[in-house]
Amino acid sequence: MRSRLLSDLIELGAGSIRRMDCIIAIELTTIPSQKLILERIQIAQKLYPETNKFPVFLNTYHSLEEFSLVPLQDKFQLELGIIHEKTLALKMSHYLGDALSMLLFLEVLLTGHGIEGEIAYRKLPPKKDSPYRNVLPTKGWMNHLAVTDKRQFITLTLTHPELPEGLVLNDILSLALLRSLPHRAKALWIPVNVRKIFWQGFGNGLSRMRLYPSRKKITLREELKHIRRQKIEAFHSGEVALPPLTLNLTPLNQKLLKLWLNRPWADWGTISLSHLEDRLNRFRGIKTLYGITNLHEKHHGGIFAFTKDNQTYVTLTFDETVARKDAQELLDKFQSEFQEILHELDS
């Protein structure tokens, strides 16, 4: 019930221009045959019935860029693309599920099996605002540009050693991105998986939080503690929240809710950052994994990062009105800040 309600809220909160589809692209050492993929699609659709409303398209493409330009025919439609006989890409609407759901679907295509079960959500306090935010909303990255339904993306691979005890890679990535943003008033919009069991449940298992930099000049270790403290407190303060179990979405309530979700003074942060880590080594045999995110109309860019072993695969998705050189400059700065943080921690 809550997964469907979250999907309804996502659709109500979405703007009228930007596309809601997301893409996960996995480069493999060995890609299954098309015949085997088609057989495993049927297994995946039985495990995850929400994907069974339309046939899943399977097509070949010359490039990931070409695959990303083709819109889905319906919010319940899925499409698979085989690119250069080495990359398998899945396109799915965020209305249908989150990035973790896309990975669960891909896992069935790669292994032939998956995990059944509804999403069980964590217990969370009622919604409140973050105690760390300023009175005024933060500035968006490239917030002066027009909104379009066309996206571009660039990728980056970060290599990192084993971190010292007590440090979390997610915190370092968050701090590196905060340091990379050119604004003084800035924050990250962070999707948060609120499933009780992290890798179980197809659908929408996301809430969100915002992360703000410290207003004081502090040491690197203190900056990382400041990031960690916000994440922990967000689960107790109401910053991370879920809607009620039932919500009367009459036409009037839908209009009122849409106005509230898109209120101009709401703080959506400067840019979104989503990070998943394959700590259980579920995705064996992959060489790279990139994710092209959907963009809310309040965001001109979003970063998806996936970590496996000592490598993190980073994708920056951005509106086509953003100059590619500006997007590359942000990603280069992000890489530089990430390496500088690691170097300082090691010294």
Q: Which neighbouring-strand residues pair with 93?
A: 21
Other Cβ atoms within 10 Å of 174 Cβ, number: 23
Q: Quick one: pLDDT band at residue 40, thresholds 50, 70, 90?
A: very high
Q: Which neighbouring-strand residues pair with 180?
A: none
pLDDT top residue among 257 and 26: 26
With 0-12 / 13-18 / 19 or more C-beta atoms within 10 angstroms meaning exposed / middle / buried, residue 157 is exposed
Any idea which of 55-59, 96-100, 162-166, 212-216 has the lowest mean pLDDT?
A: 162-166
Other Cβ atoms within 10 Å of 346 Cβ, number: 9
d(CA 208, CA 240): 6
Homologous superfamily (CATH) of 122-249+265-278+293-346 is Nonribosomal peptide synthetase, condensation domain (3.30.559.30)
Mean pLDDT of the chain: 93
Task: Give the length of the chain.
Answer: 347
For residues 85-100, give the mean pLDDT: 95
Domain ranges in the chain? 122-249+265-278+293-346
d(CA 42, CA 238): 40
The residue to which tokens 């997007």 are assigned: 327
pLDDT top residue among 252 and 91: 91
DSSP 149: S
For residues 314-343, give the mean pLDDT: 97
For residues 240-247, give the mean pLDDT: 84
For residues 227-239, give the mean pLDDT: 95
Q: Is the dihedral of CA 140, 306, 221, 228 positive or negative?
A: positive
C-alpha 13, offset from chain centre = 16
pLDDT top residue among 260 and 45: 45
| The pLDDT of residue 260 | 83
d(CA 301, CA 320): 10
| The pLDDT of residue 276 | 97
| The pLDDT of residue 105 | 97
Strands (E), 183-333: 188-193, 206-211, 271-277, 286-292, 301-308, 311-319
| The pLDDT of residue 122 | 94
Strands 57-61, 21-28: pairing is unpaired
**Residue 1 predicted with pLDDT over 70:** no
**Residue 142 predicted with pLDDT over 80:** yes
pLDDT tens by residue, 270-306: 999 999 999 988 888 899 999 999 999 999 999 999 9
pLDDT tens by residue, 199-231: 999 999 999 999 999 999 999 999 999 999 999
For residues 247-266, give the mean pLDDT: 83
Contact 182, 338 (CB under 8 A): no
What are the distances in angstroms from CA 340 to CA 154, 180, 347? 21, 12, 11
Contact 56, 79 (CB under 8 A): yes
Q: Which neighbouring-strand residues pair with 252?
A: none
**Residue 101 predicted with pLDDT over 80:** yes
For residues 31-56, give the mean pLDDT: 95
d(CA 121, CA 194): 6
pTM: 0.95
Contact 34, 113 (CB under 8 A): no
For residues 142-149, give the mean pLDDT: 88
**Residue 177 predicted with pLDDT over 70:** yes
